[in-house]
Amino acid sequence: MSTMPLLDIRNLHVQFDVFGGRLRVLDGVNLAVRAGEKVGLVGETGAGKTTTMKAVLRVLPQPPARIPEGEIFFEGQDVLKLSHRKIMNVRGQGISMIFQDPTAALNPVFSIGAQMGAVIRHSLPDNQRLSKRDLRERSVIPLKEVALADPERLLDSFPLQLSGGMRQRVCIAMALATSPKLLIADEPGTSLDVTIEDQVLRLLHDLVEKRNTAVVLITHSLGVVRETTDRVAVMYAGNIVEEAPTAKLFASPLHPYTQGLMAAVPKLTGGGVSDGIPGRMPTYLNPPTGCRFHPRCPHVMDICKSEKPPHYQVGDGHRVACFLHEGHAATGENVTTQAGGEVENL
Amino acid sequence: MAATREITPEVDRATVRRFEFASRVENFRRGWYKFSRNTLSMVGFGTVLTVILLAIFAPIVAPYPEHAGPFTDFLNAGKPPSLEYLFGTDMIGRDILSRVIFALRPALIMGIVVLGIVVPFGVLLGLVAGYARGTLLDTVIMRITDVFIAVPALVLALAIASVLKPNLTNAMVAVTVMWWPWYTRLIFGLASSLSNEDFVKAAELMGASKTRIIFGEILPNCWGPIFTKMSLDMGFVILIGASLSFVGLGEQAPKPGLGTMVSDGSSYLPDQWWIAVFPALAIVIVVLGFNLLGDGLQDMLTAEKGG
Amino acid sequence: MSDLLEVKDLKKYFVIGHRDSLGREPITVKAVDSISFTVQEGETLGLVGESGSGKSTTAYTIVGMYQPTLGHANARGQDLFANGKARPKSLRKEIQIVFQDPGSSLNPRQTIKQILELPLRLHRPEVDRLTETVRLLELVDLPPDYMYKYPYMLSGGEKQIIAVARALATEPSLIILDEPTSALDVSVQGKIINLLLRLQREFNLAYLFITHDLSLMRNVAHRVAIMYLGKICEVADMEEFFKDPRHPYTQMLLSSIPVTSEEEEQAKPVKVVSTGEIPSPVDVPPGCSFHTRCPYVMDICKQVDPEMTQFTTGHMARCHLFTEGEQPETIGQS
């Protein structure tokens, strides 16, 4: 596809200045999302998935965060360089986000109608004002789309009167009310029961199909990603270590971390539980040199300890950041070596 | 339950003691590192340390130790600060610097004694009330506490001190009586929320007695806020003590007391300003020192929780 | 094998308020609404359910945190609630619990040694605590120098391992595990699960394993019971539970699990989609508590609470679909 990506994160570095030093969290993240695509961002706690997306929306408070390097292009514009006014327009109309805990995302003292109304009002062009009745009419529509019963009455209800699943659906409704081009869903099903999560994810799937909205789904659950995405990027300790079309990733995971992660998930068909991956995710204060996964990698080689692996293209849309696949062409990403040396462009 | 694996570990007690020591050292160094980063806390710490040392070694450090007792020298009365008398002399010729240094003693003693009584008493009540949250015991304790808090502190202190004979001991009694409820309230809040934590529940389910839970599980989590509050309180107790002696209800003449000195010197303002100003400055510095120390401790503890 | 734990008609209701200000008409949550099950020595009974199912309340009641509103529970024949809150130490040591959140189940101001010593002091005063602590650490594959660490120095997985070691300290027969790995990353879950399985074999431990993760359950449990709004819907031996689930809720749950391979996808039952909302636990509708979401709902379901039907030995389900004479036995167990 030669179309320009909707979202193009290039060589993103994010650091945090904290008591005790500098956390070097994101270490050169590259990710592109095309219009209408559903991309999964998978990783464990602390991998940097939410940080990446917060950088896109520019909601990382700087300080203590700082972005020393990198660009984030949304519809061709570098989001990191936009004025405050312009970024406000991007948020909500260009990019919407739904969060892990719908209870925390909704203000408990305002009615659903008030919160939905606020979202809609914000999305109107500056000179347009809506009457109360018009606003109310417009607010009902998104609620209907997420299959909430009795949406009129819902407008006057308060978040705490609803169940968790309903709240998450309200959040989805609010996020899609402005028909954004990109939706970022941060662990949308984690705080919900499995049957409700299933419902919510399928609803989300239907809605984005209809509107051709691109989605970045952040999750730690491989099962969820398999069922709901076209492409998956696996993150570990601030880097994307592997990226592939979903079916391909599950059929042949190449990065040792991806393999370890998949092996660690208990199978519904039984067969026992693997011991998982020994060790734990490194601290960002003093991350390991070279490949950040090397202390835990069962296939570690000498080069892994001193040099950061570039991404190698191993197939159609399948890239992996691992020296085990050095034979393949490097994509030219992630090329800042530890010593800040020369860039190898192939 | 049959143990199918017989393990008789080689437990070398000496090695174990080394582990223990190493761990305690690491824990201490971690806390100290956090504390020492903050300049203001170090200033506070330094000030407090200086004050304490001055008070302890007063007879050696003060240039004219005998001026702290019954002494008159009308020839040198009312002299402004000079190389001979760094803070000047008062209306009957006593060196103010020496008197200030000696006056640190009753100030600190008041703080130590008052807190020494108030803290164990108040904390114990707070622990019991907090753990017994929801029962009659809790209600009784906390309502009594409320009564004491309701009366304005200084008024209560004054009332008590004026009924009793005016001296240092009775000033301490007065402050003690009005001070303890604040600890009870602080610990009550902490203890009640801690009582809901899983680790307390785990201890209860294990069959631990109430006493063991209060002192073994809950209290260790309270030390931080207790020491912080104590440090902040030192400053305020000293201030209250100075206020009491300012109105004549503390240390009596000729013993030096910071508040008394300010009070006596106030009638000589503004001409012989040094008689009142230096003791007042001393109060400010001492209180500030303890406050900074307390703030530093608080920052250190809140940082620890997050980190 | 004898019954290690026998639970009969257990009920636990919580009064969370009143409908008026005078204290009349209490608002009750029927967290556990009459359940019965047994646990054999050395076996793992899995308790599955979503939020509001009552599985955690069941666990806490059995371990002694709550007193039941009604019903019985016996361990080796002894009534667990005979002395109310003052459960005798001999019973306490038999049944231990591991909580879900490793971050809050260990006292942050105690060293690991102090944490492990508490159960030793209380239940095994005759042993040398230092030796025994080292032995416990060795049993869970942790080096002895962990003794003097504080919880904040440990990772989430290690903390949970300490919680397991603490449970082992009293030499119990039954350990209740309340979502022991839910708060942990998937790459460390395996270590803990395998540790638990190994300890089970070594010490013939029984587990009451609570989780919402059915894939995990498949690899851990010998028998599975599934709960919904305070009642048990279905109980079966593990293989049968997964191969031949009968209750619509079981089927719904099994068919919604996200899995990572085609093989597993085939193993799932046909998709059962919920047709309604979960009722509030305060206002449970009459009849079968699942009828608001059940795609097979019949009129009788809205009025009468079904009774347990037995299919094969050990496989029972509570549903009106099975009480219409089709199946051999109808065992009234509600």
Yes or no, beta carbons of C185 and A166 under 8 Å apart? no
- Could you report the per-residue pLDDT of B259-290, keeping only the tens digit for each? 888 888 888 888 888 888 999 999 999 999 99
The beta strand positions in chain C, using DSSP E, are: 3-18, 26-40, 44-49, 70-75, 78-79, 95-98, 174-178, 206-211, 223-228, 231-237, 308-310, 316-318, 329-330
Contacts of B307 in chain A (CB under 8 A): 19-20
The answer as to whether A2 is a domain residue is: no
C137 and C280 housed in the same domain = no
% of chain C exceeding 70 in pLDDT? 96
Query: With 90 as the cut, is the pLDDT of residue C61 above it?
Result: yes
For residue A337, name the pLDDT band (cuts at 50, 70, 90). Answer: very low
Yes or no, beta carbons of B16 and C130 under 8 Å apart? yes
Higher pLDDT among residues C121 and B159, named by residue = C121
Q: Which residue is listed with tokens 């929780």?
A: B305
Domain ranges (residues) in chain B: 47-63+95-306
C205 and C331 housed in the same domain = no
- Could you report the per-residue pLDDT of B90-140, keeping only the tens digit for each? 888 888 898 899 989 888 988 898 999 999 999 999 999 999 888 889 999
Residue A260 is predicted with a pLDDT of 92
Yes or no, beta carbons of A270 and C219 under 8 Å apart? yes
Query: With 50 as the cut, is the pLDDT of residue C326 above it?
Result: no
- Overall domain count for chain A: 1
Determine contact: A162 vs chain C, CB below 8 A. Answer: no
The answer as to whether A337 is a domain residue is: no
For residue B307, name the pLDDT band (cuts at 50, 70, 90). Answer: very low
Q: What is the 3-state secondary structure (H, E, C) of A282-335?
A: CCCCCCCCCCCCHHHCCCCCHHHHHCCCCCEEEECCEEECCHHHCCCEECCCCC
Residue partners of C232: CB distance under 8 A and separation at least 6: C35, C36, C37, C225, C226, C318
Q: Which fold has domain B47-63+95-306?
A: MetI-like fold (1.10.3720)
CA distance to B199, C41, C47, per residue, from C93 (Å):
17, 15, 22
For residue C325, name the pLDDT band (cuts at 50, 70, 90). Answer: very low
- Could you report the per-residue pLDDT of C151-170, keeping only the tens digit for each? 988 988 999 999 999 999 99
Q: CA of B299: which chain A residue's CA is closest?
A: A19
Q: Which of C154, C185, C265 to mutate to test the interface with A (most CBs of A within 10 A)?
A: C185
Q: CA of B218: which chain C residue's CA is closest?
A: C107
Which residues 118-157 of B are in CB contact (within 8 Å) with A? none
Find the domain containing A212 and state its range: 7-330
Q: Write down how long chain C is.
A: 334
Contacts of A270 in chain C (CB under 8 A): 218-219, 242
Neighbours of chain B (3+ CB pairs under 8 A): A, C
Yes or no, beta carbons of B4 and C202 under 8 Å apart? yes
Query: With 60 as the cut, is the pLDDT of residue C79 above it?
Result: yes
Query: With 50 as the cut, is the pLDDT of residue C141 above it?
Result: yes
Q: Which residue is listed with tokens 């991956």?
A: A277
Residue A2 is predicted with a pLDDT of 54
| DSSP secondary structure string for all residues of C37-55 | EEEETT-EEEEEE-TTSSH
The answer as to whether A113 is a domain residue is: yes
The answer as to whether A340 is a domain residue is: no
C78 and C137 housed in the same domain = yes
Query: Among residues C211, C197, C96, which one has the least CA distance to residue C140?
Result: C197
% of chain B exceeding 70 in pLDDT? 93
The answer as to whether C270 is a domain residue is: yes
For residue B304, name the pLDDT band (cuts at 50, 70, 90). Answer: low
C32 and C174 housed in the same domain = yes
Contacts of C187 in chain A (CB under 8 A): 44, 260-261, 264, 276-277
C171 and C302 housed in the same domain = no
Residue B2 is predicted with a pLDDT of 41
Structure-block tokens of residue A312 = 């190698």
Structure-block tokens of residue C208 = 């009451």
Q: CA of A20: which chain B residue's CA is closest?
A: B34
Which residues 18-57 of A are in CB contact (within 8 Å) with B? 19-20
Q: What are the φ and ψ backbone dihedral angles of C25, each rounded to 5 degrees? A: 50, 70
CA distance C250 to C316: 12
Find the domain containing C147 and state its range: 3-229
C333 and C208 housed in the same domain = no
The answer as to whether A293 is a domain residue is: yes
CATH number for position C106: 3.40.50.300
> ∠A234-A237-A238 over CA atoms, to 5°?
80
C25 and C128 housed in the same domain = yes
CA distance C87 to C61: 12
Residue C137 is predicted with a pLDDT of 93
Range of lowest pLDDT (B150-164, C82-96, C99-113, C230-244):
B150-164
C103 and C196 housed in the same domain = yes
Which residues 16-55 of B are in CB contact (within 8 Å) with A? 34, 37
The answer as to whether C75 is a domain residue is: yes
Q: How high does pLDDT run on average in chain C? A: 87
Contacts of B204 in chain C (CB under 8 A): 65
CATH number for position A18: 3.40.50.300
Contacts of A19 in chain B (CB under 8 A): 34, 37, 303, 307
C128 and C196 housed in the same domain = yes
Q: Write down how long chain B is.
A: 307
The answer as to whether A343 is a domain residue is: no
Give the closest of A149, A224, A264 to C186, CB-based: A264
Q: Which of A18, A19, A23, A283 to mutate to test the interface with B (most CBs of B within 10 A)?
A: A19
Determine contact: B30 vs chain C, CB below 8 A. Answer: no
- Could you report the per-residue pLDDT of A85-108, keeping only the tens digit for each? 888 878 877 888 888 888 888 998
C225 and C274 housed in the same domain = no
Contacts of A20 in chain B (CB under 8 A): 307
Contacts of A250 in chain C (CB under 8 A): 260-261
C174 and C315 housed in the same domain = no
pTM score of the predicted model: 0.84
